[in-house]
Amino acid sequence: MKIFILVCITFICGFFVNVSNSNPLPYESIFNFGDSISDTGNAMKSFPPMPSNSPYGSTYFKHPAGRLSNGRLIIDFIAEAYGLPFLPALKNLTKDQDITKGVNFAFAGSTALESEFFKRHGVDPPGTNNSLSVQLGWFKDLKPSICKSKEECDGYFKNSLFLVGEIGGNDILSHLTHKTVTEIREIVPLMVEAIANATSILIEEGAIELAIPGNFPIGCNAAFLSTVDSKKKEDYDEFGCLIPYNTLVEYFNEQLKNAIEILRQKNPQAKIIYFDYYNDAKRLYQTPQQYGFTSDKNEILKACCASNGPYNVNPKTPCGVLGTTVCSDPSKQINWDGAHLTEAAYKMIAKGLVEGPFATPSLKTSLFKIV
Ligand SMILES: *[C@@H]1O[C@H](CO)[C@@H](O)[C@H](O)[C@H]1NC(C)=O
Ligand SMILES: *[C@@H]1O[C@H](CO)[C@@H](O)[C@H](O)[C@H]1NC(C)=O
Ligand SMILES: *[C@@H]1O[C@H](CO)[C@@H](O)[C@H](O)[C@H]1NC(C)=O
């Protein structure tokens, strides 16, 4: 009897010692807002399932997994690096699913600006009405099932990371065939304001650490390159990227950084990180072989999941439909399907954020390296 109690006590003590000794995770949870760059299943849930042999997801998940890439996205690599599970998509939550480690509100096709804006502006309506502010509404609706009182929420969000974007790429895309770069420039301050507004609201809701990504070098993106298809040689830089569109994004990112600075001053208790997606991704196009991609200058800008068109992009036959092909080694390509990048590219970009130097200030030290 004595031995039994002793064993029990040792066991229970051991258990408690273990629990109290185990270090808390750097981030207990991640909440993400954005578009297809970080959507892990919200938009896909609203469509009929992709055929199981679709090339989407094929490299990592071996089946379509709600993501518009051949494998993991930047957000997946971040979650892994911090010892967290892949973020469940809000629209694909199962009953009783654990949401305490975070939820993903990003929706493919979504815009920073409200969908009514596009109609008023006489440009293509966005692919979805689930703009950033709509996603924020979803967060507010879900919040009571995450935490109850202000005190409980503050305690919980203290260790959460909130990602606001990337968003804005689709706002620009909607304007592409109707407006000049100079005209698109005029909507940049509004886009930035929408992102800053969302960030302010999250801080009011209790967010303490937030990361706001800028936009990608869209001038190097196969979807933009093929849609713009400029015949003017002077529009392209030495890497084959469209100068006017990269300059537009540089302007957007400068405005965004200014807005972040204002948010920091207004909210000294919050840590607001800028994710430099632009330079993180641009280096991949500039010295691709250094990051394991093909050194073939003709190939590097092309989509891997290809159809017949400039840069392997043809909007009439998108990746996955009959007649499209997948390149022999997706890990050698940056671009997956025109608009989206490959898992290999997202991995490099995530590494640049988590391990530096493309997050300012830095994220907390990760538990694992991204390899
Ligand atoms: C929804 O979640 C299930 C797992 O719970 C997963 O197998 C499926 O691929 C997800 N669907 C989408 C569209 O993300
Ligand atoms: C967006 O909302 C408008 C007005 O409610 C609707 O007509 C349109 O079909 C919606 N678009 C999408 C893509 O759901
Ligand atoms: C940002 O918030 C302010 C204050 O609520 C509002 O007046 C403005 O229209 C919002 N801007 C955008 C682009 O949503």
Q: Please state, for a pLDDT cut of 70, what percent of the chain lies above it.
A: 94
Strand, helix or coil for residue 48: coil
How far does residue 228's CA lie from ligand 2's centre (Å)?
26
Counting DSSP H helices and E strands in the chain, the numbers are 13, 8
Which positions are annotated as active-site residues?
Answer: 36, 337, 340
* pLDDT band at 188; cut points 50, 70, 90: very high
pLDDT at residue 323, rounded to an integer: 86
The closest residue, in CA terms, to atom 6 on ligand 3 is 197
Q: CA 321, CA 136: separation in Å to the nearest integer?
A: 33
pLDDT tens readout for residues 157-171: 999 999 999 999 999
Q: What share of the chain is helix, strand, coil (3-state, %, to 5)?
A: 45, 10, 45
Averaged pLDDT for residues 353-364: 98
Q: Give the pLDDT confidence score for residue 322 in this predicted structure.
A: 87
Please write the tens of the pLDDT for every residue from 15-53: 444 444 466 899 999 999 999 999 999 999 999 999 999
Q: Report the amino acid identity of residue 206.
A: G
Nearest ligand, measured from the Cα of 116: 2
Structural contact between residues 356 and 81, judged by C-beta atoms closer than 8 angstroms: no
pLDDT of residue 8: 41
pLDDT at 4 over 60: no
Give me the chain's average pLDDT, please: 94
Domains of the chain are 26-290+341-360 (3.40.50)
Selection from 217, 280, 287 nearest residue 252 by Cα: 217
| Alpha-carbon gap, residue 272 to 254, rounded angstroms | 15
User: CB–CB of 315/51 below 8 Å?
Assistant: no
pLDDT at residue number 22: 60
- Calculate how far, in angstroms, residue 132's C-alpha sits from the geometric centre of ligand 2: 15
Residue 313: how many CB atoms within 10 A of its CB? Answer: 27
Is residue 160 a contact partner of residue 211, using CB atoms and an 8 Å limit?
A: no
